[in-house]
């Protein structure tokens, strides 16, 4: 059984990551979308295993101790993290996996699994990113400024990703994402294919 491919996606908040991934996940049901785990209390809109995997604090800490997370962090007294097992189980079953994570987490995964494909989604410009963040209307100037400096810090790391997509139009960005997935699999198989062809003589 051929293993699936792990696509690790990072993007500053406001880059339209969700709008790109949603139609792709809808179109190809074989892709497993990695869901974060958390110890925070479920809210009304939450669905366990969909919005988050809900865990007890003890369960989460036990999994930390067993090196069971690609990365985790503690915000406001609650843990958030990316469990390894469902990702690895799906890859082993031959399913592709999409995992959203910020830059440091992405580089950690690449170190552990060099065959992972890192994809960064860029906004067309920082000006446009600020406009998108302001349009949301729910956040004040200070929060937006903080997000902007985070975005700049992350974008500077984009050069170390395998692929960079610019979201300057949803349709083109989705086509780029699909092409990246296609090529990443092609690249992964190249050596096998050449050997296969030569051995099938």
Contacts to its own copies by CB under 8 A: 122-127, 152, 155-156, 158-159, 163-166, 175-176, 178-180, 182-183, 186-187, 190-191, 193-194, 196-198, 200-201
| Beta carbon nearer to its own copies, 73 or 186 | 186
Which helix or strand (DSSP H or E) is residue 140 part of? none
C-alpha span between 171 and 92 (Å, rounded): 31
Shortest spacing between CB 78 and its own copies, in angstroms: 33
Shortest spacing between CB 57 and its own copies, in angstroms: 40
C-alpha span between 195 and 109 (Å, rounded): 28
- The DSSP-derived string for 3-63 is PP-EEEEE--TTS-HHHHHHHHHHH-TTSEEPPPEE-SPP-TT--BTTTBEE--HHHHHHH
CB 14 within 8 A of CB 124: no
| Beta carbon nearer to its own copies, 21 or 55 | 21
Shortest spacing between CB 115 and its own copies, in angstroms: 17
Shortest spacing between CB 76 and its own copies, in angstroms: 30
Shortest spacing between CB 90 and its own copies, in angstroms: 23
Give the orientation angle of helix 17-27 with respect to helix 170-199, to 10 degrees: 50
| Beta carbon nearer to its own copies, 73 or 194 | 194
C-alpha span between 71 and 64 (Å, rounded): 9
| Beta carbon nearer to its own copies, 89 or 160 | 160
| Beta carbon nearer to its own copies, 30 or 190 | 190
């Amino acid at each position: 059984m051929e293993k699936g491919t792990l696509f690790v996606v990072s993007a500053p908040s406001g880059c339209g990551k969700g709008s790109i991934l949603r139609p792709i996940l809808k179109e190809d049901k074989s892709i497993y979308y990695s869901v974060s785990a958390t110890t925070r209390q479920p809210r009304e809109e939450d669905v366990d295993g969909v919005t988050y995997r809900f865990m007890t604090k003890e369960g989460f800490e036990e999994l930390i101790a067993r090196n069971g997370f690609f990365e985790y962090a503690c915000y406001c007294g609650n843990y958030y993290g990316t469990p390894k097992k469902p990702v690895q189980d799906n890859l082993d079953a031959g399913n592709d996996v999409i995992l959203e994570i910020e830059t440091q987490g992405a580089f950690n995964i690449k170190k552990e699994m060099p065959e992972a494909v890192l994809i960064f989604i860029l906004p067309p410009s920082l000006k446009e990113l600020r406009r998108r963040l302001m349009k949301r209307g729910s956040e004040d100037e200070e929060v937006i400024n903080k997000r902007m400096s985070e975005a700049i810090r992350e974008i500077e790391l984009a050069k170390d990703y395998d692929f960079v997509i610019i979201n300057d139009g949803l349709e083109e960005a989705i086509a780029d994402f699909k092409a990246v997935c296609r090529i990443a699999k092609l690249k992964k198989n190249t050596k096998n294919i050449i050997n296969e062809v030569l051995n099938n003589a």
